[in-house]
Each structure stands twice: as structure tokens, then as C-alpha cells.
Homo-oligomer: A and B are copies of this chain.
Amino acid sequence: MQSLPLLSHYLQQAQAKLPAAIWHYLQADAGDGHQLHANALAWQAQKLMPRPLQQLHNASTACEMFGERWAHPILLAPVAYQKLFHDDGEIGTAVACNAQQGQMMVSSLASQTIEHIIQQAQQPLWFQLYWQGDRARTLPLLEKALASGASAIVFTVDAPVKQSLMDLPEGVSAVNLAQALAPLPIAPGQSTVFDGWMSQAPTWEDVHWLRQQVTVPLLLKGLMHVDDAKRAVDAGCEGIVVSNHGGRVLDNTPTVTAVLPQIVTAVGGQCKILVDSGIRSGQDAFKALAMGADAVCIGRPYIWGLATEGAMGVAKVIRWMRDELEMTMALTGASSLQDIRQLALYQS
């Protein structure tokens, strides 16, 4: 299986095309880039065992979650301000996602309205929720998403301290928010981090409150600790996204590969387990599924496609990853996602 150079092609094109500040914003991690690298490397380091001579002609990557049927388990992770990368913006991503019979998560910081995005997608989409400082300000955003037809809410909990963002160019903003979130004004001797930001951050209490408000499946995004995964289940969440936010929030965390097995053992079957951070190929997706994930999300890779060719680029990235997933199944003798899950990865 000779790796098509599609993704590295898009990566190079995106880097060439985007202004440096935007490229930097896209690729940045919380440190010097080492976590970004570690995330991808950790998937690569897992070994696959070839199992030839299996009967596979009825094989398929089809799957189902919360009553939705998808052609494959490769979701698009929420990425803010997509008009930064291409005029098509979130709508381009949504159209591609529909064409490839998958699902995406629309960011709270989308640069187009959630109503418009879902309408153009011609299918219900998932909405990613950021806490808006308190319950009163969070509720309207949630209600807007639900009213627009969001079929699941993904509550991202791992990024409470917002760093000074790049300056957004003219015409790009978080159009779904009533107002941008800023740190609280602090008194002398107080801490910007603790008093300015953290007093606006959500807590487990807020998760319980949110569970009451959300009428569709609720997922928590950004969990890495097995106890937090259990707590999400106890709070009535239908799913979690095991993620270190692509390395963008805290430097030198474990990789998802390191924590996933324990989380699968603890809450597998009780809620859906999605993963992201560093997935770069259909083989990586295969490995995540073999380790017990129910689906995978990609972040930066589809943005490289969006930046290069708009909606078409996103569609090709999804298709390429699905093809690679199929080839990996063919070569390892797995004819369904269920089969993959029963294959143990090779341990040296």
C-alpha cells in the first residue's frame, strides 16, 4: 500500500498559500512544536500485523452513532474561524462532509452562522460548545445551536484559559457569539489566570446543569484522565472525545495513545469514545479503532485541504483517509469496524 502523497501535498500547499500568521495559528501547539510531533508519532509507532488470505469482499467501513448512519468513522473536529483558511469557510467543510457521508463538529467560534452552515450541509451537524463565562451567557448560544438543528452537543472543557489570539483580519469573527469572551478585570495583587480567567471557567457543576439543558446527545471534549471519563458517564454524557486538543493547550501531556486503553477499559460500552490529536492517516484511524475508539476526529489535516482547494480539498482528505482505512482493513483481514476492534495491535 503505497501512501498517496495527498496529505503532505496539501500541507505544503497550505503553508505556501496562507499568510504566515495564519499558518502559525493553525499549526501552533502550546510549546515549541514538540507536542504536535509527539501526538502524530505516537500513532505511527503502533505496529500493524499483516494477516493475508482472509475473505473480505463484503467488507465495509460503515458505522452508526446516536442513530446517525455514516459511511465511515472519520469525523471533522471543531476548528475555529475557518474563513481564515478559505473563503468557503465552515460551509465548505460542511458540504464536503455531507458529500463523504460523514459528520463534523461546528465550532462555537465558527466564522459563519450555525443556521447557515447546517442549511448548506443538508444534514444535521454537531455543535461544539465553549463556556461563555457563566450559565446565563452560555444558554443562548446552546439554544441557538439546538434551534438550528444541531444533532449533538460537544462541550469542550480543556481550554479554559484563552491565550492572546492572533489578530483576526477584517471580516472574520465569531459570528455566533453575542460578545467575545474576555478576562474579568482584576484588582491589584490578583492573578490574571486565577481571578481573570478561571472564575469564568466551567466546573463539573456546570456539566450537570448543561446535561439538563441539552436535549440531544452530549459529549465532553478534552478528557485525558480515566477518572474524568467515568465522571462524564456519571454526569449522563453520551460520549467523550479523548483529546489533548492537538497539543494546543498544555505542553508535555501524555499522548492519546497512552491514555486510551485505560479509558476504554473503564467506560467502553457505557458511552461513545471518540479520539483526536495527531491522526494523520487511515492507518492511524485503524489503530485508534483497534485500541477501542468508536470513531476518530481529524483537525489540522482537513484544514490543509480546505486552505488548498476549499470544499473539494476537504472532501478529498476524507476520501483518502477512508481509502487508506479500507486498505489497512484489507491487509489485516478486518471486514468491519467490529472486526478491527477485535484485532489486538501488535505488541513487540
User: Which of these, B3, B54, B197, B202, contacts A30 with CB under 8 Å?
Assistant: B3
The answer to whether B163 touches A52 (Cβ under 8 A) is: no
Does A254 sit at the interface, judged by CB under 8 A? yes
Complex: A328 Cα to B1 Cα, angstroms: 36
The answer to whether A28 touches B2 (Cβ under 8 A) is: yes
Complex: A243 Cα to B10 Cα, angstroms: 33
The answer to whether B192 touches A58 (Cβ under 8 A) is: no
A227 — nearest CB in chain B belongs to which residue? B51
Q: Most chain-B CB neighbours within 10 Å: which of A28, A206, A225, A250?
A: A250
The answer to whether A50 touches B194 (Cβ under 8 A) is: no
Number of copies: 4
Complex: A160 Cα to B32 Cα, angstroms: 37
The answer to whether B50 touches A1 (Cβ under 8 A) is: no
Q: If A194-B57, A194-B58 touch, does A52 touch B3 (CB 8 Å cutoff)?
A: no
Q: Which residues of chain B are near A204, meaning CB under 8 Å? A: 53-54
Digit string of A167-202 for contact with B (CB within 8 Å is 1, else 0)?
000000000000000000000000111110111011
The answer to whether A47 touches B252 (Cβ under 8 A) is: yes
Digit string of A248-290 for contact with B (CB within 8 Å is 1, else 0)?
1111111000100000000000000000000000010000000
Complex: A303 Cα to B116 Cα, angstroms: 54
Q: Most chain-B CB neighbours within 10 Å: which of A30, A46, A56?
A: A56
CB of A324, distance to nearest CB on chain B (Å): 9
Q: Which residues of chain B are near A206, meaning CB under 8 Å? A: 53
Does A207 sit at the interface, judged by CB under 8 A? yes
Does A99 sit at the interface, judged by CB under 8 A? no
User: Which of these, B50, B223, B251, B258, contacts A250 with CB under 8 Å?
Assistant: B50
Q: Which residues of chain B are near A39, meaning CB under 8 Å? A: none
User: Which of these, B48, B161, B222, B348, contacts A330 with CB under 8 Å?
Assistant: B161
Q: Which residues of chain B are near A48, meaning CB under 8 Å? A: 250-253
Q: Which residues of chain B are near A56, meaning CB under 8 Å? A: 194, 198, 201
Does A228 sit at the interface, judged by CB under 8 A? yes
Complex: A223 Cα to B332 Cα, angstroms: 11
User: Which of these, B2, B52, B207, contacts A158 with CB under 8 Å?
Assistant: B52
CB of A337, distance to nearest CB on chain B (Å): 13
Q: Which residues of chain B are near A328, meaning CB under 8 Å? A: 250
Does A327 sit at the interface, judged by CB under 8 A? yes
Complex: A202 Cα to B250 Cα, angstroms: 44
Does A120 sit at the interface, judged by CB under 8 A? no
A165 — nearest CB in chain B belongs to which residue? B2
Offer 30 A-B interface pairs, CB within 8 angstroms, sorted by A: A1-B30, A2-B30, A3-B30, A3-B31, A44-B252, A45-B252, A47-B252, A49-B254, A50-B225, A50-B244, A50-B249, A50-B250, A52-B158, A52-B160, A53-B202, A53-B203, A53-B228, A54-B203, A57-B198, A59-B194, A160-B330, A161-B327, A161-B331, A192-B323, A192-B326, A193-B326, A194-B330, A198-B330, A201-B330, A250-B328
A-side residues, CB < 8 A to B, are 1-3, 28, 30-32, 34, 44-61, 157-158, 160-161, 163, 191-195, 197-199, 201-204, 206-207, 222-225, 228, 244, 248-254, 258, 283, 323, 326-332, 335, 346, 348
Given A1-B163, A3-B30; 5 other pairs, CB 8 A cutoff: A3-B32, A53-B201, A55-B203, A253-B346, A254-B346
